[in-house]
Amino acid sequence: MGSLSGVLQRPLVAAAAVAVASVSTEFSDKLKSSTAFSSPDLLNSSISNSVEESKSCWVSHFSVSKPAYLSFVSRIQVPVPSVSFPVPNSGRSCVPNLTYSSVVSSPILLDLFQSARLVKVPNPTAYPHDISTSSPDVMYRWHLPEPNAINVSGSSDCSSVESRTVVVLLGWLGAKQKHLKRYAEWYTSRGFHAITFTFPMSEILSYQVGGRAEKHINLLVEHLADWLEEEHGKNLVFHTFSNTGWLTYGAILENFQKQDPSLMGRIRGCIVDSAPVAAPDPQVWASGFSAAFLKKHSVATKGTLGSDESGMEALAGTKEVVEPKVAVTETALLAVLEKFFEVVLNLPTVNRRLSDVLGFLSTQQPSCPQLYIYSSADRVIPAGSVESFIEKQRKAGIMVRACNFVSTPHVDHFRNDPKLYTSQLTLFLEDCVLTGCKKVS
């Protein structure tokens, strides 16, 4: 019975720590210019005293302080959460041994998140350029190609292929539509359709196996399947972010396989940004949730310091690399969250569900080409885990390309080096997605 008590207590302690960290971060932002909190020591002391005084009523206190994120505290169940091809030298070190193995504005659509449902929408070809809404947490948004889109390959024959391809962008933990907009704009400016899909944090924090979150995925799958069936020659490309986007991709693939296995053959490529870790690792999950709650205050948002622009000196060890220090509050939060996920990830239903999805992603991915974008400086997803997964995919006969950005933070590679990021996307689309229509020189 003693061990059961410990199991029940640890999730509550973890939830409390998340609440404390989240509220302290919010206070730090809003009261930054206040003289009462001008000293970091005074701020930490004040927060500590406040927490100490309210130990007996922290649930109601924090749910009032930040209801959007902390209403889950009293009902938390299970938290869930991304031939050789030459790679141009654009100032950063990309993985050199790249081997090859053979091988959606209709007002009717905008059902806001009040009902927490992903509506089944009419034909996206009838939509204006960009579907927008006042709700920041709408489940997904369909973006149409721009009228004067740039042709990726330079061949007019490819424009029809691009217009019949939708890129599905699956967001990271804590991502909102505004965060994925710049990625969608890049694709639509190249003639592609794009769908940006995100989960509100409240959905993930109240996750249940087979519950509402997975129903959102099922409805997206139905929408994509309907779109693909409307006309022959329509295809999909997936662009996932962190382990949350990666697991969402796995759940979508499972649905495709169950609903209509032929849908798997309509996937022309998969781009994996800052993922994966192919096993339920408590440390990785703790890092992901800590970064999602603390946002810019998390060390995960900071890359390595002291390297030159290319990051090559840091990689070679010829110049000292200064690692940003982890704040005491983040260290404590990480420790508690790790203990929490040691319990949660081993719950039978959760472990079984994750094992199914991760197993599917490891052994039953479609045979389409893959592009992995990652960084040695990523403090959420270890570079070694990504590289290990890449090698397994190559051994399975999948065409894989990869680029190590070396010094950029987790899911922040595009912002830190847009030139290299977009060049990798362009080359991948040209060589792997638009192969049948490229201009022959």
Same domain, 208 and 122: yes
Instruction: Report the C-alpha dihedral over residues 87, 90, 94, 99, rounded to 10 degrees.
Output: 0
Residue 97 lies in a domain: no
Same domain, 178 and 238: yes
Same domain, 124 and 262: yes
Residue 92 lies in a domain: no
> Whole-angstrom Cα distance, residue 204 to residue 11?
15
What one-character-per-residue DSSP string does 312-364 give?
A: HHHHHTSS--BPPPPPHHHHHHHHHHHHHHHHHTTSHHHHHHHHHHHHHHHH-
- Sort strands 140-143 and 193-197 into parallel, antiparallel or unpaired: antiparallel
Same domain, 123 and 59: no
Same domain, 72 and 170: no
Domain count for the chain: 2
- Residue 403 β-bridge partners: 373
Considering 12, 47, 76, which residue would you say is the last residue of a domain?
A: 76
The predicted model scores a pTM of 0.70
Q: Tell me, what's the pLDDT at 401?
A: 97
Residue 178 lies in a domain: yes
Q: Tell me, what's the pLDDT at 304?
A: 65
Same domain, 274 and 378: yes
Q: What is the pLDDT along the chain (441 residues), one digit of tens a residue?
A: 443 334 334 444 445 545 444 444 444 444 444 434 334 444 344 444 444 444 333 333 333 333 333 333 333 343 343 333 344 444 555 644 444 333 333 333 333 333 233 334 444 443 334 444 434 445 889 999 998 887 776 666 688 888 899 999 999 999 999 999 999 999 999 999 999 999 877 777 766 777 778 888 988 999 999 999 987 889 999 999 999 999 999 999 999 999 999 999 999 999 999 999 999 999 999 999 999 989 888 888 887 655 444 444 444 444 455 567 788 899 999 999 999 999 999 999 889 999 999 999 999 999 999 999 999 999 999 999 999 999 999 999 999 999 999 999 999 999 999 999 999 999 999 988 887 676 544
> Whole-angstrom Cα distance, residue 194 to residue 140?
10
Q: Tell me, what's the pLDDT at 399?
A: 95
Considering 76, 105, 124, which residue would you say is the last residue of a domain?
A: 76
Residue 413 lies in a domain: yes
Same domain, 138 and 230: yes
Residue 292 lies in a domain: no
Same domain, 64 and 170: no
Q: Tell me, what's the pLDDT at 204?
A: 75
- Residue 267 β-bridge partners: 236
Residue 130: give the domain boundaries.
113-280+342-433
Q: Tell me, what's the pLDDT at 432?
A: 85
Same domain, 11 and 146: no
In a 3-state reduction of DSSP, which class is residue 240? strand
Same domain, 215 and 359: yes
Considering 76, 105, 139, which residue would you say is the last residue of a domain?
A: 76
Q: Tell me, what's the pLDDT at 192?
A: 95
Residue 61 lies in a domain: yes
- Residue 103 β-bridge partners: none
Residue 309 lies in a domain: no
Same domain, 42 and 149: no
Q: pLDDT tens digit string along 227-282?
A: 999 878 899 999 999 999 999 999 999 999 999 999 999 999 999 999 999 999 99
Same domain, 255 and 380: yes
Q: What is the CATH number of the domain that holds 212?
A: 3.40.50.1820
Residue 297 lies in a domain: no
